[in-house]
Amino acid sequence: MTSKQPKYEYVSSAKLPTRWGEFRIHGFVEASGQEHVALSYGEWQPGEVVPIRIHSECLTGDALFSTRCDCGFQLEKALKNIVEHGKGVLLYLRQEGRGIGLLNKIRAYNLQDNGLDTVEANEHLGFDADLRSYDICKLMLETLKVSKVELMTNNPKKLKALSALGIEVVARKPIDHGITEDNKHYLKTKTEKLGHAFDPHLLK
């Protein structure tokens, strides 16, 4: 009888110098072949509260500098916050477009250009509004010896997801950053339909 392949697996780690400081990058892979990474900075003791950000891949925002979302802005802000704090972890999950993939995200953008909001566009394409999973976060954080976190997010669902995995979330730190005229409607939709906790005064 062959042994069952683990659902997630840690692969390797290496130094990763950045504009903000020297991180370590840690690679993980799912049984499906999907790859994810974690960036860690500084040191901590087991049981210590560690600032973290769970960031889902956004090629258009993270790498192509799009201002129709706030993803790239949040990614940079999270890395800066971690360095300023002296320690922390960024979990970078490869689930583009809230889990629908890059090309479907572009299709959704086209629908948004023609009047639908981000939730309506995903549903028009036959997807749920949000298909992301955070299960791999447990292995990633356990590998880095993190069990208690301060979570940088505007999405309360991430707090519930980590708590369900046995990760203690001691605080939520808002990351209202990168609000532009191009993405205000998108952020209002995330607040009204997906429960994100943005300061309403920032979206006027």
Q: What's the token pair of residue 146? A: 């993190």
Task: Report the relative pairing of strands 35-41 and 88-93 from DSSP bridges.
Answer: antiparallel
Q: How far is CA 66 from CA 52, 61, 93, in A?
A: 24, 5, 19
Residue 68 labeled ligand binder? no
Residue 57 labeled ligand binder? yes
Asked whether the beta carbons of 55 and 75 are under 8 A apart, the reply is yes
Q: 152-169 in b/e burial notation, b at 16+ Cβ within 10 A? A: bbbbeebbebbeeeebeb
Residue 196 labeled ligand binder? no
Residue 24 labeled ligand binder? no
Q: How many CB atoms lie within 10 A of CB 103?
A: 10
Q: How far is CA 181 from CA 15, 31, 67, 114, 199, in A?
A: 37, 41, 8, 17, 16
Asked whether the beta carbons of 190 and 196 are under 8 A apart, the reply is yes
Residue 160 labeled ligand binder? no
Q: Which residues are catalytic?
A: 130, 132
Residue 53 labeled ligand binder? yes
Residue 137 labeled ligand binder? no
Residue 55 labeled ligand binder? yes
Residue 158 labeled ligand binder? yes
Residue 74 labeled ligand binder? yes
Asked whether the beta carbons of 23 and 42 are under 8 A apart, the reply is no
Binding residues for GTP: 53-57, 74, 96-98, 118, 153, 158
Binding residues: 53-58, 69, 71, 74, 96-98, 118, 153, 158
Binding residues for Zn(2+): 58, 69, 71
